[in-house]
């Protein structure tokens, strides 16, 4: 299992998370949405991230210049593109990937219906990994809602793409609807 912790807000927090063995230290970066860190503060937060963890910058904006600035100035291990897919296309995501080939691209995919499977397939070969999350139509970004979506659609996406997939969206310690255990018990 891979563990990502979002909204890391200080170098001390990043250092502690690395010591706990967290895989991805994620901050929301570029400073235009609530809870986002400026590039300058993000640089300080990422400094203690060790070789044991990866730095990941989540960009919620679809503004390609802001995304380029985050990528160029932070050079994170992972650039997580979280803007709504109707605002940031596969083509634009591919442009960012080609401009920053040493940075892995994680693309958020809204899991809202059967069309999500086809959408995820369009990022296969463009993104290095997908993050499947809940989404409200009309929102400018994907996720952050704290609610689950149809995990059977997640399974179909995993079966239809060749890149790694991470699950998000209301995951927690409550019992799974399928196995009545913790979510990790049945690998949902």
How far, in Å, are 10, 44, 47, 151, 162 from residue 16 at the CA level?
Answer: 10, 14, 13, 32, 33
The pLDDT of 118-130, averaged and rounded, is 96
149 close to 116: Cβ distance less than 8 angstroms: no
In angstroms and rounded to an integer, the radius of gyration of the C-alpha atoms of the chain is 16
Say what the pLDDT of residue 55 is: 93
Structure tokens given for 75: 């050079």
pLDDT tens by residue, 83-107: 999 999 999 999 999 999 999 999 9
pLDDT tens by residue, 31-40: 566 667 888 8
Domain of residue 46, CATH code: 3.20.20.70
What is the total count of domains within the chain?
A: 1
The pLDDT of 141-167, averaged and rounded, is 89
- Its pTM stands at 0.85
The pLDDT of 59-69, averaged and rounded, is 92
Residue 128, pLDDT above cutoff 90? yes
Question: CA-to-CA distance for 27 and 25, rounded, in angstroms?
Answer: 7
Residues spanned by the domain of 125: 4-185
Question: CA-to-CA distance for 84 and 107, rounded, in angstroms?
Answer: 10
DSSP characters over 10-28: SHHHHHHHHHHT-SEEEEE
Structure tokens given for 169: 């969206």
Structure tokens given for 129: 């990994």
Residue 142, pLDDT above cutoff 90? no
Residue 183, pLDDT above cutoff 60? no
Higher pLDDT, 103 or 180: 103
Average pLDDT, the chain: 86
Say what the pLDDT of residue 186 is: 46
Say what the pLDDT of residue 2 is: 83
């Amino acid at each position: 299992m891979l563990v990502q912790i979002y909204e890391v807000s200080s170098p001390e927090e990043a250092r502690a998370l690395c010591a706990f063995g967290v895989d991805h230290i994620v901050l929301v970066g570029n400073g235009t949405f609530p809870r986002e860190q400026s590039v300058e503060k993000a640089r300080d937060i990422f400094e203690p991230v060790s070789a044991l963890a990866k730095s990941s910058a989540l960009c919620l904006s679809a503004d390609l210049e802001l995304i380029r600035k985050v990528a160029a100035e932070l050079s994170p291990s992972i650039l997580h593109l979280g803007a709504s897919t109707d605002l940031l296309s596969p083509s634009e995501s591919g442009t960012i990937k080609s401009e920053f080939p040493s940075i892995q691209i994680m693309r958020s995919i809204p899991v809202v219906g059967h069309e999500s499977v086809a959408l995820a397939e369009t990022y296969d070969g463009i993104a290095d990994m997908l993050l499947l999350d809940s989404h409200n139509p009309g929102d400018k970004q994907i996720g952050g809602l704290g609610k689950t979506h149809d995990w059977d659609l997640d399974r179909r996406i995993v079966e239809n793409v060749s890149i790694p997939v991470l699950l998000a969206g209301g995951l927690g310690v409550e019992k799974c609807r399928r196995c009545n255990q913790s979510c990790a018990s049945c690998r949902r």
